[in-house]
Amino acid sequence: PGTIAESRCLVIGAASGIGLATAERLRASGAAVIGADLPSARWPGEDPGSLPLDVTDPESVRAAVASAVQAMGGLDAVVNCAGILGPVASALGTTVEEFERILTVNLTGAFIVSRAVLPAMAAAGYGRLLHLSSTAGKEGVINMPAYSASKAGILGLVKSLAKEFALTGVTVNALAPGNVMTPLFQEVPAEQQAAQAAKIPMGRFGTPAEAAALIEFIVSPAASYTTGVVFDLSGGRATY
Ligand code: NAD
């Protein structure tokens, strides 16, 4: 594709928050877009052509990707916004099962999505894959040990994949939002939200539309010399 309008896009986790705003923005830009989310997801309004999938289940991801390729005739860009916050709790208050569940959805899920989409993109000689990390993965947020670890894992995954596919025309990047007003962020207890807000030079949380605007650029054909990069979206709360 020469422009985003010519791109065929799959947005995972598209029923809510950043994924929903991304699917809306890409559609508004003229791209072909299919949204996917859990079978149990409640879609706001009617999502044309949405697909059920669970990123922890390789077979469901494979089937959804095959449906998307069939429906659009190929796949140029994949934005993986599937993620969970999990219980906000101290490390000792987090069970091993809870820790593993968050790692499985947020990190293993990203690996499963990557394995499902990268071979065809590489064969086509073009692709844009974006996973969602978080400033939590760079800073380590108190009372989010598993979430922070899962989002740190995305950084390593994306950088490794970027190198593996660097000669194929496929880029693999991550977006690291700080605090974006979505249903997920609203699960954070009020006092912890206030502590986060105090760290933001712009003095406000971000919006899903602001996340979608940066995502659109990262998965556009124009972003052709940028891979293995973690883009901050944090209102000036620069993290290394
Ligand atoms: P959200 O809860 O509004 O949306 C997440 C979507 O992922 C939901 O629709 C949910 O059904 C879907 N999902 C969850 N588990 C899934 C699974 N196993 N398979 C498929 N879909 C699944 O949350 P959001 O805030 O829009 O978050 C999107 C991404 O951005 C997440 O990875 C999140 O960790 C990351 N993020 C968000 C913020 C923030 O402040 N909102 C900050 C940093 C990172």
pLDDT tens across 37-68, in order?
Answer: 999 999 987 666 799 999 999 999 999 999 99
Q: DSSP string covering 100-150, please? A: HHHHIIIIIHHHHHHHHHHHHHHHHT-EEEEEE--HHHHH--TT-HHHHHH
**Is residue 22 within 6 Å of ligand 1 at its C-beta?**
no
The count of C-alpha atoms lying within 13 angstroms of the C-alpha of 135, restricted to the half-sphere facing its C-beta, is 19
* Ligand 1 centroid distance, CA of 165 (Å): 26
- Which ligand 1 atom is nearest residue 40's CA? 11
Residues 6+ apart with CB under 8 A from 145: 90, 91, 94, 99
SS3 86: coil
Amino acid type, 128: R
Q: Is residue 239 part of a domain?
A: no
In the sheet that 77-80 helps form, which strands lie side by side, from edge to edge?
A: 51-52, 32-37, 8-12, 77-80, 127-132, 170-177, 230-233
pLDDT of residue 92: 98
């891979």: which residue's tokens? 227
**Is residue 38 within 6 Å of ligand 1 at its C-beta?**
yes
Q: Is residue 238 part of a domain?
A: no
Q: Is residue 180 part of a domain?
A: yes
Question: Number of folded domains in the chain?
Answer: 1
Q: Which of 126, 147, 225, 240 is catalytic?
A: 147
SS3 66: helix
Model-level pTM?
0.98
The mean predicted confidence, pLDDT, of the chain is: 96
Buried b (16+ CB within 10 A) or exposed e, 204-240: ebbebebbbebbbebbbbebeeebbebbbbbbebeee
pLDDT less than 70: residues of the chain? 46-48, 240
Q: Is residue 240 part of a domain?
A: no
Which CATH number belongs to the domain containing residue 113 in this structure?
Answer: 3.40.50.720
Cα–Cα dist 124/72, whole Å: 14
Cα–Cα dist 101/120, whole Å: 29
**Does the annotation mark 225 as catalytic?**
no
| Complex-level ipTM beyond the 0.85 threshold | yes
Protein residue with least CA distance to atom 13, ligand 1 = 82
* Domain enclosing residue 223, as ranges: 4-233
Q: Is residue 222 part of a domain?
A: yes
CB-based contact 55:104 (threshold 8 Å): no
